[in-house]
């Protein structure tokens, strides 16, 4: 079982995938939403609590997050880092192995093209997992991370996974 996480302060995408060699199935996916009027610390607590609940419900053994991140400036990077830290501390305390994949590699694995647009990723994730609807962007990113890891894990050597 693989937990894909795309943390950010206001909308953390998450996905839990069960995968074997034949196929991958999405057990759950969604967004941990924190309204703009919540103080930052309330968001961090909400992210930590929700991730802990996901771990209890699904017991994934592995967690995958984005490796190279995008941030416009130092302040954005700090805030994004806080959201990642809130989520990853829970994951690490629970003993999961944590891997990073670069966003370009995720797109390459899912769409076959490293510079693919967000919508293309969403539609491809929908198709690969047989989802009824195109998932929301944050959840789609988390699903794509988990899927890319599942593919890479099934084909050792295909992608270099770096343990965090």
Q: Residue 33: left if φ>0, alpha if ψ -120 to 50, beta else—which one?
A: beta
- Give me the phi and psi of 73, to 5 degrees please: -155, 180
Number of Cβ atoms within 10 Å of the Cβ of 65: 21
Closest to a copy of itself by CB, 66 vs 122, is 66
Nearer to a copy of itself, 44 or 125 (CB): 44
Asked if residue 137 binds a copy of itself (CB under 8 A), the reply is: no
Number of residues forming the site for a copy of itself (CB under 8 A)? 34
Cβ atoms of 2 and 16 within 8 Å: the answer is yes
In contact, 24 and 17? CB cutoff 8 Å: yes
Q: Which of 61, 71, 115, 158 binds a copy of itself (CB under 8 A)?
A: 71
Place of tokens 């769409």: 111
Q: Is 48 in the site for a copy of itself (CB under 8 A)?
A: yes
| 138 catalytically annotated | yes
- Binding pattern for the stretch 80-99 against a copy of itself, x by CB under 8 A and - elsewhere: xxxxxxxxxxxxxx----x-
3-state secondary structure of 13: strand
Residue 33 CB coordination number (10 Å): 14
61 touches a copy of itself (CB under 8 A):
no
**Residue among 90 and 106 whose Cβ is closer to a copy of itself:** 90
Q: Which of 82, 97, 136, 138 is catalytic?
A: 138
Catalytic site residues? 6, 66, 138
Binding site for a copy of itself (CB under 8 A): 39-42, 44-45, 47-49, 69, 71, 73-75, 77-93, 98, 163-164
């Amino acid at each position: 079982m693989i937990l894909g996480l795309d943390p950010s302060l206001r909308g953390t995408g998450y996905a839990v995938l069960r995968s074997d060699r034949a196929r991958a199935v999405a057990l759950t996916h969604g967004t941990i939403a924190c309204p703009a009027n919540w103080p930052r610390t309330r968001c961090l607590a909400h992210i930590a609590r929700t991730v802990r609940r996901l771990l209890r419900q699904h017991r994934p053994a592995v967690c995958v997050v984005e490796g190279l991140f995008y941030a416009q400036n130092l302040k954005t990077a700090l805030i994004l880092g806080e959201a990642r830290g809130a989520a990853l501390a829970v994951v690490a305390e629970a003993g999961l192995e944590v891997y990073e994949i670069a966003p370009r590699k995720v797109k390459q694995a899912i769409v076959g093209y490293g510079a693919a647009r967000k919508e293309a990723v969403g539609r491809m994730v929908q198709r690969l997992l047989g989802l009824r609807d195109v998932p929301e962007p944050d959840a789609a990113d988390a699903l794509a991370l988990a899927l890319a890891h599942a593919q890479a894990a099934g084909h050792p050597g295909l992608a270099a996974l770096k343990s965090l």
